[in-house]
């Protein structure tokens, strides 16, 4: 029983023309195994070249034709190239052999790897790529329509990585736990951007390292890393910081205080009553505020998380929106970016006699803190704020716990209990 060859071999053969005394040069491949067929096939590739002066090997007869004539094979040199008397024909045969060699090489390389080995070879190529370039492409793809603050953070992350590598590529194959630790230490002491002096805060460094890890995790998913190294790296721990908020009395005082930017005042108080971010309030349209029975609700997509938020608002919050406009018009038209309202907001807070450092985002803190203080459960508050994790909301719960502890120590009985 003959065992079929598993390796396909490519060979130059001659095929006689039916009408002329010439032979076409053809590349024959055999055996070729096709799915669904038990027997191997022979494939032929005409090269469009012809010869008329082949030299036949009279010592190596092939088969006898029907008319009784012997069929001879073409004579070949030590390299297997068909020999011809004509120089032009000989050059055509040399050309045909070069094509045969290319086809054999292509096939051998294609068959060289198993599927797993081929993937490994591809992964090896990916490991030579630059992570910073990959990160930039990921930023453009993922955050093209994200909020300005997110894009700014990803842009700053790119600059920090280039600063860390001194402008050189960060090759995937060089990324290991040691590099991550070095980069973490770099971020903790990284300089502030722009004209600001000093180093970034620890919490800012933690944010940038989280973004860095997000890029590494996606690179693992895309096959640039063989290990999800981001999952192994511990983040830079946040340091607790005071989250300023307004008490209900301070909020009432502020509401009664005149402000030279009415649109900013209405938007600020609206944030305190709904917990919405500045970016979401700035882009809120009238068509996103709907009446459901006796109550008003807002259906919008958060700029930061891209999550769809469906939340009820109070009548007071709706009154702060002003006169209802066309569906596609902004509710708070003319509300500027935070950088442009810092000074007017500072003047308004000072005029109300409030000495706390209050930014626009503090109105969101105020909403969360007052809700928890008044007994709203943390899971409901988390949903109202649009947090993806309740652990984020627990930051406000700590503030409430501190207030409870202070309240516990407020009542003191003037009696010596030791007697």
Model pLDDT for residues 47-74, shown as the tens digit of each residue: 999 999 999 988 876 666 566 667 789 9
The residues, any chain, with a CB within 8 Å of residue 330's CB and separated by 6 or more, are 282, 283, 284, 285
Alpha carbon distance 270, 323 (integer Å): 15
Same domain? 172 vs 42 = no
Any idea what the Cα angle at residue 373 is, between residues 367 and 374, rounded to 5°?
90
Phi, psi angle pair for 272, to nearest 5° = -65, -25
Neighbouring CB atoms inside 10 A of 410's CB total: 6
Phi, psi angle pair for 156, to nearest 5° = -65, -35
Express each pLDDT in 388-418 by its tens digit. Answer: 676 666 666 666 666 555 555 555 566 555 5
Same domain? 200 vs 314 = no
Q: Is residue 41 part of a domain?
A: yes
Task: Supply the Cα-derived Rg of the chain in whole angstroms.
Answer: 38
Domain boundary among 202, 232, 262: 232
Q: Is 57 helix (H, G, I), strand (E, B) or coil?
A: strand
Same domain? 66 vs 105 = yes
Alpha carbon distance 384, 312 (integer Å): 9
Same domain? 256 vs 401 = yes
User: Distance of alpha carbon 200 from its chain centroid, rounded?
Assistant: 25
Same domain? 344 vs 374 = yes
Across all residues in the chain, what is the average pLDDT? Answer: 84
Express each pLDDT in 223-266 by its tens digit. Answer: 899 899 999 989 888 765 667 888 899 999 999 999 999 999 99
Q: Is residue 122 part of a domain?
A: no
Q: Considering only 41-50, 59-68, 338-347, which range has the smallest mean pLDDT? A: 59-68
Cβ(352)–Cβ(257) under 8 Å? Answer: yes
pLDDT, position 257? 94
39, pLDDT greater than 50: yes
Cβ(214)–Cβ(205) under 8 Å? Answer: no
The residues, any chain, with a CB within 8 Å of residue 367's CB and separated by 6 or more, are 271, 272, 273, 274, 275, 384, 385
Based on the number of CB atoms within 10 Å of its own CB, is 132 exposed (0-12), middle (13-18) or buried (19 or more)? buried
76, pLDDT greater than 90: yes
Higher pLDDT, 338 or 357: 357
pLDDT, position 304? 60
Alpha carbon distance 365, 85 (integer Å): 95
The residues, any chain, with a CB within 8 Å of residue 103's CB and separated by 6 or more, are 10, 27, 29, 45
- Domain of 202? 131-232
Domain boundary among 206, 232, 258: 232
Same domain? 316 vs 375 = yes
- Residue 264 belongs to a domain with what CATH number? 1.10.443.10
Max CA separation in the chain (angstroms) = 137
Same domain? 70 vs 186 = no
Same domain? 135 vs 105 = no
303, pLDDT greater than 80: no
- Residue 198 belongs to a domain with what CATH number? 1.10.150
Alpha carbon distance 381, 4 (integer Å): 73
Count of structural domains, the chain: 3
Same domain? 26 vs 60 = yes
Q: Which of 207, 224, 221 is nearest to 132 (CA)?
A: 224
Same domain? 305 vs 366 = yes
Cβ(241)–Cβ(341) under 8 Å? Answer: no
Helix axes 148-164, 202-221, angle to 10 degrees: 90
pLDDT, position 118? 65
> How many Cα atoms occupy the beta-carbon half-sphere of 13 within 13 Å?
15
């Amino acid at each position: 029983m003959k065992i079929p060859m598993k390796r396909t071999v490519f060979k130059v053969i001659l095929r006689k023309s039916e009408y002329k005394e010439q032979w076409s040069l053809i590349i024959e491949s055999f055996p070729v195994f096709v799915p669904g067929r038990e027997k191997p096939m022979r494939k032929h590739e005409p090269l469009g070249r012809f010869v008329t002066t082949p030299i036949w090997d009279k010592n190596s007869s092939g088969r006898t034709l029907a008319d009784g004539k012997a069929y001879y094979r073409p004579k070949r040199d030590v390299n297997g190239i068909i020999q011809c008397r004509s120089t032009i024909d000989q050059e055509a045969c040399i050309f045909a052999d070069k094509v045969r060699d290319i086809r054999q090489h292509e096939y051998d390389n294609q068959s060289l790897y198993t599927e797993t080995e081929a993937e490994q070879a591809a992964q090896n190529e990916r490991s030579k790529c630059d992570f910073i370039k990959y990160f930039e492409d990921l930023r453009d793809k993922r955050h093209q329509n994200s909020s300005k603050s997110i894009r700014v953070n990803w842009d700053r992350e790119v600059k920090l990585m280039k600063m860390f590598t001194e402008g050189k590529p960060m090759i995937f194959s060089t990324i290991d736990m040691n590099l991550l630790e070095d980069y973490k230490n770099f971020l903790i002491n990284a300089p502030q951007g722009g004209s600001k002096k000093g180093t970034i805060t620890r919490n800012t460094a933690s944010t940038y390292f989280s973004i860095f890890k997000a890029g590494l995790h996606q690179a693992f998913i895309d096959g640039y890393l063989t290990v999800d190294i981001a999952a192994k790296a511990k983040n830079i721990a946040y340091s607790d910081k005071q989250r300023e908020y307004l008490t209900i009395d301070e909020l009432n005082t502020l509401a009664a205080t005149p402000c030279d930017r009415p649109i900013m005042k209405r938007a600020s108080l609206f944030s305190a009553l709904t917990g919405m971010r500045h970016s979401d309030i700035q882009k809120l349209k009238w068509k996103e505020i709907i009446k459901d029975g006796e109550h008003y609700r807002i259906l919008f997509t958060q700029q930061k998380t891209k999550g769809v938020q469906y939340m009820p608002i109070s009548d007071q919050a709706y009154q702060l929106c002003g006169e209802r406009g066309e569906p596609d018009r902004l509710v708070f038209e003319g509300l500027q970016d935070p950088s442009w309202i810092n000074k007017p907001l500072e003047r308004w807070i000072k005029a109300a006699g409030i000495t706390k450092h209050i930014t626009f985002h503090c109105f969101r803190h105020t909403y969360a803190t007052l809700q928890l203080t008044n007994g709203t459960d943390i899971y409901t508050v988390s949903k109202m704020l649009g947090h993806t994790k309740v652990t984020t909301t627990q930051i406000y719960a700590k503030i409430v716990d501190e207030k409870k502890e202070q309240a516990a120590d407020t009542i003191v009985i003037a009696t010596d209990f030791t007697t």
